[in-house]
């Protein structure tokens, strides 16, 4: 029998079920078994591990995950996909599909309910691209017991997430992610392997979440605000961007105390610099 993640299977499944692809849910089904294998391999999933999948779609990735993982917990927003998924995955027992919007789900509670016995929990997904950043920020900011994320996303966002200082991709999201996890771009994926093909190319990114943060911000809400502010207008200096929200004298004194040149732009600063700035403002912005 052909795999779910193949052009033939996807086309047949769509016709057989009279399924209308919903653009509003970012539905682009993956039809390349070697890419599916690479994703699962990059996650290093074993039978001792549980996987959370976001958007199982027709079940192409879910099938591979059911083969390799102990258990798969999948969140799908589109109720029309549920009976199709159940039919496509009927030979497996080690999965649970939740008809839920991942942005509204209480993932912590679901982990407690379904995945308590698993030591390692990984998120593995071909994400709905229209909500890549909110999904990532939503999950990573909750300090859930998830050790690793392997996700397909649009290439541009993947490059930002893995962005390094002094490159055009480096921005507030790169820093926010770097604070919590080691980000690696695993592979670039052409748009042609999806049905329907999206308008952008994609990439698979792996995030290995730090057990203990290498550098700690005293107040993470202030840290998130500060990095967004530092990159508010890329062409402006750090000083000018920070003065949009903070007192000028405070920022002048801070740059002196931290030995940062007033003329620098945020894109050259390291994570360590942003944490120093954030901690300074946490302590001194009374």
The residues binding ligand SAM (CB under 6 A) are 25-30, 54-58, 60-61, 75-78, 81, 101-103, 126, 128, 131
Min dist. Cβ of residue 154 to ligand SAM (A): 10
Min dist. Cβ of residue 10 to ligand SAM (A): 8
Taking the least distance from each CB to ligand SAM, the nearer of 20 and 235 is: 20
Tokens of 281: 């403002």
Min dist. Cβ of residue 50 to ligand SAM (A): 17
Cβ-proximal residue to ligand SAM, closest one? 55
Helix (H, G, I), strand (E, B) or coil at 115: coil
Taking the least distance from each CB to ligand SAM, the nearer of 1 and 212 is: 1
Taking the least distance from each CB to ligand SAM, the nearer of 29 and 118 is: 29
Min dist. Cβ of residue 194 to ligand SAM (A): 7
Give 17-72 as a DSSP string: TTPPP-GGGT--EE--HHHHHHHHHHHT--TTEEEEEE--TTSHHHHHHHHHSSEE
Q: CA 62 → CA 42, 69, 88, 219, 241, distances in Å?
A: 15, 10, 10, 38, 45
Give the C-alpha separation, 154 to 140, whole Å: 19
Label residue 143 left, alpha or beta by phi (over 0 means left) and psi (-120 to 50 means alpha).
left
Taking the least distance from each CB to ligand SAM, the nearer of 35 and 254 is: 35
Taking the least distance from each CB to ligand SAM, the nearer of 30 and 217 is: 30
């Amino acid at each position: 029998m052909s795999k779910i993640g193949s052009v033939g299977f996807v086309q047949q499944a769509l016709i057989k079920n009279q399924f209308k692809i919903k653009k509003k849910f970012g539905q682009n089904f993956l039809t390349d078994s070697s890419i599916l294998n690479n994703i699962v391999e990059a996650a290093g999933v074993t039978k001792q591990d549980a996987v959370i999948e976001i958007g199982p779609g027709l079940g192409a990735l879910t099938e591979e995950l059911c083969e390799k993982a102990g258990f798969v917990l999948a969140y799908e927003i589109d109720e029309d996909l549920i009976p199709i998924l159940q039919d496509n995955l009927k030979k497996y027992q080690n999965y649970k599909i939740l008809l839920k919007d991942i942005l509204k789900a209480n993932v912590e509670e679901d982990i407690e309910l379904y995945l308590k016995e698993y030591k390692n929990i990984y998120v593995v997904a071909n994400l709905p691209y229209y909500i890549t950043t909110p999904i990532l920020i939503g999950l990573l900011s909750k300090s859930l017991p998830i050790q690793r994320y392997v996700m397909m996303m649009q290439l541009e966002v993947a490059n930002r997430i893995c962005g390094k200082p002094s490159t055009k991709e480096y921005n507030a999201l790169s820093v926010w992610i770097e604070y919590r996890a080691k980000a690696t771009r695993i592979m670039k994926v052409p748009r042609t392997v999806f049905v329907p093909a999206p308008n952008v190319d994609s990439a698979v990114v792996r995030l290995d979440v730090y057990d203990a943060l290498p550098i700690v911000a005293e107040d993470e809400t202030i840290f998130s605000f500060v990095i967004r502010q530092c990159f508010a207008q890329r062409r402006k200096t750090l000083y000018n961007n920070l003065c949009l929200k903070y007192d000028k004298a405070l920022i002048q004194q801070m740059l002196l105390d931290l030995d940062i040149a007033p003329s620098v732009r945020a894109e050259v600063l390291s994570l360590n610099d942003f944490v120093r700035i954030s901690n300074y403002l946490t302590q001194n912005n009374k």
